[in-house]
Structure 1
Amino acid sequence: MCGIVGYIGREGQEDARDVLVGGLENLEYRGYDSAGLALSNGDLTVVKREGEVTELVSALEENNPGAAPVGIGHTRWSTHGEPSDANAHPHTDCSDDVAVVHNGIIENYEQLKAELRADGHQFESETDTEVVPHLIEAALKRGADRESAFRSAVDRLEGSYAIAAVFEDADDVFAARQDSPLVIGVDEGGYYLASDVPAFIDHTDQVLYLEDGEFARLTPETVGISDADGRPIEKSLATVEWDAEDAGKSGYDHYMLKEIHEQPRALRKCLRGRVDGIERTVDLDLELDDVGGVHLVACGTSYHAALYGAQTLRSQGIPAQTFVASEYTRSSLAGQSPLVIGVTQSGETADTLGALRTARAAGARTLAVTNTVGSTAARECDQALYVRAGPEIGVAATKTFASQQIALHAFALWLGEGMVDSDQIDALRTLPDHVQSVLDDSNARNVAREYVDASAFFFIGRGYNHPVALEGALKLKEISYEHAEGFAAGELKHGPLALMEDDAPVIAVVTGDDERARKTVSNVKEVQARGAPVIAVTDGRSDVEQYANHVLTVPETEPVLAAVLANIQLQLFAYWIAAELGRPIDKPRHLAKSVTVE
């Protein structure tokens, strides 16, 4: 969601302004509506603007604050107050001696604001964040030093936060986190602070992860990390296993298109060392015994992957349920003791973390299925299964969804204690090549051009194709802003048929030739009889193409993996619809990559 950057350089190193602007540009994918910097160079200079980072850069050129060795920056995604210059971060105290940036939500800010106003503090914004610099100011006036004042302010906060602060005429950065990520980058030239690694991956791949309740003080020469009581904490450096080039566009017009085309490689990485074609086995580096049932908790695209994963688990005889993470409560356990799997691309999704913490508090075992090594979910869960998709910059998830699908499918096969036949193994091993063939041969762009002016889009599927239909609709609405809905195909006659129009195509995902496929073909006939155009995504085994206006083909494979291939076509269709409409595909309005507030 919001993005934090911070930098403090040793003498003779880079100007903080350049580092911070570069960091903010690297975090643009997270989604934001304003941006700002605070630079400490004897005086404290704050520059912030509604709009994109380019607006901030123009403002910096106009203000020309000069070189500074230390600073913090922020991209804001509005929660309290509309997008505006005043509501943009950083926020300062009455005397402009301290500047603060913040991700998360301070739940008791109204109470704190009333208390501070009663003491004479004046506020310039509608945000919850602005109480923090005023709390620091109040503590300084009581005689506290900078670190004590910062800690005192943080102690008053209720809610979620990642906070960083800088002071006038001081060469240090203070930071703290609770339920919102912060990571420190380390190199010979200085120290970096960010809400996500891409902010500073251009400079270093050596990182320290802050945990909930921890504080950090960065100086030109040292990083000090301590707990809430001030006791020092020793941490080991971790190495990020990708570099800045991995996060570039590589000549593609958008990150999303690049990441769609990276899926063969991502799936090979997901499967490498896990699927043995000689021994015909699936082996995961996990330790789990006596799994009687599974609950999967997730949000958005990851929820659709979880729906898919639950079906693969049930196919192996393992009871599995899927829950929207924000709806998961202790009563969801209902006396059960399942393995609770949190499916989260970033590993920082607030609702999913909340569900996992609920499960742990009830004594359940937990497993994170995530793309991000060192993320909160990976650290807090009993074990982690990494999907290995590599960095994903586009807000709309693509390669991480496919990698989640395959990681969960492999997990189901592994948990099924050897119930893996040769056909399944062969299909998994050839899947990346099949994905490549879809990418090479897809006519989704031409089909998209036919329907770019449609009034609405409806996606249907059964079985493994049902979650894919839901995801296809989500992907289209995310990046094109067009109305799209996904249904279980059998539900059409229970209401959605009333929406059928000759300018509202139905995208039917039909693979295989079993009873589900035949029933979906019947649903397609119902749609056709009502005058709606049909786009069939199919492997050709059901003859659905004779009832379709257009066809997007996928290779024949095992039913569980045909759904993965169908999803590639739906991603391309959504992309080309959005491209024809001229939408900002990588940064869709109102959305964020990592949703760290509930």
Structure 2
Amino acid sequence: MCGIVGAVANNNIVPVLLDGLLHLEYRGYDSAGLVVTCNGLQRLRTTGRVAELKKLVHEKNIQGLAGIAHTRWATHGVPSERNAHPHFSGTAESPARIAITHNGIIENHEIMRKRLQAEGFEFISDTDSEVIAHLISFNLKYTGDLIVAVCASIAELQGAYAIAVMEEARPERIVVARNGAPLLLGLGESGNYAASDASALLKATRNMIYLEEGDVAELTCDRYRIVNCLNTNSVKEVKRSVHESNLSSEAIELGPYAHFMQKEIFEQPSAVANTLEMILNAKSISPNLFGNKAEEVFSRTSNVLILACGTSYHAGLVARHWLESVAGIPCNVEIASEYRYRNPLADQATLVVGISQSGETADTLAAISYAKKLGHQYSLAICNVPESALIRQADLCFLTHAGPEIGVASTKAFTTQLATLLLLAMVLAKMRHKLSTKDERQMIMALRHLPVALQHTLQIESQVKIWAKSFAQKRHALFLGRGVHYPIAMEGALKLKEISYIHAEAYAAGELKHGPLALVDNEMPVVAIAPNDQLIGKLKSNLQEVHARGGELYVFADADSQIMQSKNLHVIRLSEHAGILSPILHTIPLQLLAYHVALVKGTDVDKPRNLAKAVTVE
């Protein structure tokens, strides 16, 4: 959600700002803007895409040696130019002109707005962000130094945020701050930079510093310093490690693909192979896959609590089946945004697992923190981003190595999460003496074959394209699955909703007769996942219920499931039943269906309306 780029250099930084914003488009946004120092603070803002901002920059020939830029995802105030960032502050009584960009939400903005209005500040926008600009301007009048004013201001703000600030009187520097939203520094030979994501700075530098909670950094062309304001009684300078990013510029470029979502669907064989690299040549698995302390933690674990949102929540639901059937360990899966406002019972023997692609999902981070306050001792992060807040917060971690995921609708992050969660089930099963040596080796062999199986499954794309042409004309759809494949049906419905805007719902197929069957007619397509498992007979009965009422069925079946195509019953066959890995393989056709339906409808596949990639607000 939202994106920040900042730069101070000895040459024109506008190209760096614009390129950075382009690489942050995946986060979701509805307006864009920048401000640079050139005979004062020059600001440009626009609704719509970064391309529009770029056009304005060229028309007005905007250049500068320092600047901050932003893509906004609307929370407070409609998408409009006046609500777009950067925001300014300055009055006759407090003439210091301040410009700010902000990611996140300020929870006490209404109280702060009234107080600042009483001090003579005029609010131009409807945003919570403008409060920050005026508050810094107010504190600067008393402190006389921008970094001190920022520290004083964030002590008064409630919420999660990342901010970048410029002062007209000191145009050679920018100040940034982080509290609950991602922000990092980039150290270059000709300047220094800041951004919400490393991908925004790859063309400028690979040397990154990941800011921690309460960090405030001051950047000039040739130096930087970081102070931490978490303890308002003791603001002190701190040192943070410099990391060399291993992201490649090719990884965040489209290459031969039409969309990032298409690219990321087809990257899944390699993404899963990278995630499983440590065991592909192994004969056995070890708890150390999840960290040095994992064996000690897992030996004390008697049940598992999974906290996640959206697609990651669906991965958790699949994992519950695996953990209980393979490891024989009780598992509960909670939506993070709901869990954090309940009063659940805590058990010190519970392993709390947080799942997030970005590692910056606000609700998941808050839920993990809440679980610890309740008394849960141990946590495990499953995440795609090293140095993310979730990784730093958890006791144990597993990086999924999916590579950058740019499309808002998650694809390869989901399948790599599933592969990781199966590893977790195997490790816990082995430690609980539930996994024989023979079964362990067979499961490792199956995982070793998984990238190849995924590659074969992708070959059904041409058949899915045919379905998409008729499917795109529909307004609603039902998705059916049973057992461990029900969460996969939920994920398929979510994908269709996200990028094609077709209303879709998923049901456990056995629940049809308890209400949803009333929706079935010849205008309601029904998508079913039909693996040849122990529930195939039950599922066939459920499909007959739909067929008998004139419903049109689209079935993704295993080759050996013996479901025959007929009028209003369309079948695409995958491979032979993949056993425990079947949910991972059956994810692929549902992703392809959503993608190709969206193509036919002409929606914005990579940047669907109203959605953001990294949901860093509540």
Q: TM-score, normalized by length of structure 2?
A: 0.93
Structure-2 residue corresponding to 1:292: 302
- SS of the residue aligned with 1:595? coil
Most deviating of 136-145 and 188-197: 136-145
Cα distance per residue 1:158-211 (max 9 Å; x no partner): 111101101114211111111111011112121111111111122222211111
Correspondent of 1:379 among 376, 392, 397: 392
- SS of the residue aligned with 1:518? helix
270 and 592 in structure 1: CA distance in 2 versus 1, 3 angstrom threshold: same
Correspondent of 1:511 among 507, 531, 540: 531
Q: Does 1:40 align with 2:52?
A: no
Q: Does 1:417 align with 2:430?
A: yes
Aligned partners of 1:464 and 1:560 also within 8 Å:
no
2: CA distance, partners of 1:106 / 1:440: 47
2: CA distance, partners of 1:332 / 1:559: 38
283 and 528 in structure 1: CA distance in 2 versus 1, 3 angstrom threshold: farther
Aligned-pair Cα RMSD in Å: 1.6
Cα distance per residue 1:318-347 (max 9 Å; x no partner): 111100001114855414221110010000
Return the letter of the residue paired with 1:261.
F
2: CA distance, partners of 1:421 / 1:557: 19
Correspondent of 1:21 among 7, 14, 18: 18
Give the drift of 1:282: 8.1
530 and 283 in structure 1: CA distance in 2 versus 1, 3 angstrom threshold: farther
Structure-1 residue corresponding to 2:102: 102
Q: Does 1:368 align with 2:364?
A: no
Q: What pairs up with 1:566-577 in 2 under 5 angstroms? A: 566-577=586-597
Give the drift of 1:541: 2.8
1: CA distance, partners of 2:580 / 2:155: 50
Cα distance per residue 1:349-397 (max 9 Å; x no partner): 0000010001122232111100001100001111111111000000000
2: CA distance, partners of 1:484 / 1:190: 49
Aligned partners of 1:539 and 1:553 also within 8 Å:
yes
- SS of the residue aligned with 2:328? coil
Structure-1 residue corresponding to 2:198: 197
Aligned partners of 1:98 and 1:133 also within 8 Å:
yes
112 and 566 in structure 1: CA distance in 2 versus 1, 3 angstrom threshold: same
- SS of the residue aligned with 1:142? helix
Q: Does 1:75 align with 2:74?
A: no
2: CA distance, partners of 1:143 / 1:451: 62
Return the letter of the residue paired with 2:60.
N
2: CA distance, partners of 1:280 / 1:183: 35
Structure-2 residue corresponding to 1:84: 80
Structure-1 residue corresponding to 2:331: 320
1: CA distance, partners of 2:564 / 2:82: 56
582 and 43 in structure 1: CA distance in 2 versus 1, 3 angstrom threshold: same
Aligned partners of 2:347 and 2:375 also within 8 Å:
no
2: CA distance, partners of 1:54 / 1:96: 31
1: CA distance, partners of 2:381 / 2:37: 40
Aligned partners of 1:275 and 1:283 also within 8 Å:
no
Return the letter of the residue paired with 2:274.
K
2: CA distance, partners of 1:227 / 1:426: 49
2: CA distance, partners of 1:457 / 1:467: 16
1: CA distance, partners of 2:103 / 2:176: 12
- SS of the residue aligned with 1:373? coil
Structure-2 residue corresponding to 1:357: 369
Q: What pairs up with 1:212-361 in 2 under 5 angstroms? A: 212-228=213-229, 229-279=234-284, 284-286=289-291, 287=294, 288=297, 289-315=299-325, 316-329=327-340, 333-337=344-348, 338-361=350-373
2: CA distance, partners of 1:244 / 1:131: 37
Cα distance per residue 1:475-516 (max 9 Å; x no partner): 0010000111111111111111011021221111010241x1
Q: Where do 5+ consecutive residues of structure 1 fail to align?
A: none
2: CA distance, partners of 1:331 / 1:258: 39
Give the drift of 1:283: 6.2
Structure-1 residue corresponding to 2:419: 406
Cα distance per residue 1:559-589 (max 9 Å; x no partner): 3211111110110011000001111100000
- SS of the residue aligned with 1:417? helix
Q: Does 1:450 align with 2:470?
A: yes
Structure-2 residue corresponding to 1:533: 552
1: CA distance, partners of 2:165 / 2:340: 35
2: CA distance, partners of 1:363 / 1:189: 48
Structure-2 residue corresponding to 1:562: 582
39 and 281 in structure 1: CA distance in 2 versus 1, 3 angstrom threshold: closer
Return the letter of the residue paired with 1:499.
L
Give the drift of 1:452: 1.7
Cα distance per residue 1:44-98 (max 9 Å; x no partner): 1111111111221222233333x21110000000000000000000000035711
Structure-2 residue corresponding to 1:158: 158
Aligned partners of 1:513 and 1:541 also within 8 Å:
no
1: CA distance, partners of 2:532 / 2:485: 11
2: CA distance, partners of 1:559 / 1:505: 27
- SS of the residue aligned with 1:464? helix
2: CA distance, partners of 1:331 / 1:117: 37
Most deviating of 493-502 and 227-236: 227-236
- SS of the residue aligned with 1:545? coil
Aligned partners of 1:347 and 1:375 also within 8 Å:
yes
Aligned partners of 1:214 and 1:227 also within 8 Å:
yes
2: CA distance, partners of 1:375 / 1:398: 20
Aligned partners of 2:82 and 2:125 also within 8 Å:
yes
Aligned partners of 2:175 and 2:216 also within 8 Å:
yes
283 and 427 in structure 1: CA distance in 2 versus 1, 3 angstrom threshold: farther
Percent identity of paired positions between Structure 1 and Structure 2: 41
Structure-2 residue corresponding to 1:8: 8
Return the letter of the residue paired with 1:259.
E
Q: Does 1:180 align with 2:181?
A: yes
Structure-2 residue corresponding to 1:495: 515
- SS of the residue aligned with 2:539? helix
Q: Where do 5+ consecutive residues of structure 2 fail to align?
A: none
Cα distance per residue 1:283-306 (max 9 Å; x no partner): 624313221000000000010011
2: CA distance, partners of 1:557 / 1:424: 14
- SS of the residue aligned with 1:284? helix
1: CA distance, partners of 2:300 / 2:280: 22
302 and 290 in structure 1: CA distance in 2 versus 1, 3 angstrom threshold: same
Aligned partners of 1:504 and 1:532 also within 8 Å:
yes
Aligned partners of 1:160 and 1:178 also within 8 Å:
yes
- SS of the residue aligned with 1:544? coil
1: CA distance, partners of 2:283 / 2:369: 40
Structure-1 residue corresponding to 2:450: 431
1: CA distance, partners of 2:533 / 2:141: 75
Q: TM-score, normalized by length of structure 1?
A: 0.96
2: CA distance, partners of 1:540 / 1:437: 13
Most deviating of 84-93 and 323-332: 323-332
Give the drift of 1:549: 2.0
1: CA distance, partners of 2:6 / 2:198: 12
Structure-2 residue corresponding to 1:390: 403
2: CA distance, partners of 1:280 / 1:123: 59
550 and 332 in structure 1: CA distance in 2 versus 1, 3 angstrom threshold: farther
2: CA distance, partners of 1:222 / 1:371: 31
Q: What pairs up with 1:116-135 in 2 under 5 angstroms? A: 116-135=116-135
1: CA distance, partners of 2:261 / 2:614: 16
Correspondent of 2:497 among 473, 477, 492: 477
Aligned partners of 1:7 and 1:20 also within 8 Å:
yes
